[in-house]
Amino acid sequence: MAFCTNCGNKIDENALFCTRCGTAVNNEFVSAKGNSKQMYEEFIPTLGIGRRFVFKEKSIIYGNEEYDYSKLSPIRLITAPTFASNGVAQTTAENGVVLTLAFNRKDNVRFGAVLTYANEQIDKEHGNIKKYKFLLQSSSGSKIEVYEDYLKIYYFKAMSNKGSESVDKIGKDFGLSGKGLTGKITGGLGKAFDNISNLGTGINNTFKGGATGEIIMFTDLNISIKDNTLIINEYLIPLGQQNIDKAKEIIAYIKNTLELIKRESETTTVKQEIWEPIKGKNREFSFYGEKLEIPENLDVYNSYRKKFKQMAEKYTEKVRIDYNAKVNDFISFMEFFLKIYKENLSPIIQKAV
């Protein structure tokens, strides 16, 4: 018998993650039977939807097939589980097969922990090394990636008791209570059907798309922790015990980075390169036995051309540095590429005019 070192929950001796808080179990742990622990996290969806699947150290078993992480695309969370529906994530195999990973609500925390592990392995197998400083996966389905001076948030609205309230109201409209069928069904039948319709629409909407990443610069960020909830601008992200310390580290990192940015902005002044006016002159060259004359204005042009080439090479290197620091995927490419391009092209244009 083993217990989680974070929350004290009793865990299976073969488990790699706590089923309550998602804390990873020491991989070097050896069970009482003397067997080395192996990654084998099994999920069986409820509500009659989805197939059984298992996360292993280097692959996923889906139904009767096994897929290496090297053959899969990153796993994307489509929706978090609710009282009335499974959580759903998807990945695509290189042969085009879509793996729909449905998991029930009681496995939410464990799935989040294993999802982080699996995506790290998939990125590693494809050579996509993430440059984030921190990664926080919430049990609500939301995920935060913290980079050098910005963070990316994949947000899912946290689960609430709204669905349970709808069911309770439906029951009351039908005259159902804990004491049995006491009311008249016909009196509230119309309202009950309306509520059922609204509930169905809400559940259906959760399957129409997953969270897309939103980039927020540290300078545009308000972040704090209150009542085990991470507050990022208008987003509320519930924190399990396994994420509290990491959230505090993230806040400390952001605070230190902002202080560094402020100090650098106070001490750094923008120095514009000053060029002395170039005066050209007529030049003569021998070209295959013929005399080639270069007029004064063309000599001026050629001299400036060389200076602009040197300037362009300097800013090209700066673009490369900025690009590598900020662009990590398609979302960050769309967010930063044009900004980086314009910021580094602007000084050259200003010099030209």
pLDDT in tens, 98-119: 999 999 888 888 888 888 889 8
Q: What is the pLDDT of residues 229-265, one digit of tens each?
A: 999 998 998 887 878 999 999 999 999 999 998 887 7
pLDDT at position 37: 53
pLDDT at position 253: 95
Mean pLDDT, residues 181-203: 37
Query: pTM of the prediction?
Result: 0.59
DSSP letters for 160-184: -SHHHHHHHHHHHHTTEETTEE-S-
Q: What is the pLDDT of residues 63-89, one digit of tens each?
A: 889 999 999 999 988 888 887 888 889
Identify the band that residue 274 occupies on the pLDDT scale cut at 50, 70 and 90.
confident
The three-state secondary structure class of 79 is: strand
| Arithmetic mean of pLDDT over the chain | 76
- d(C-alpha 173, C-alpha 183), whole Å: 8
Token couple for 323: 């690009």
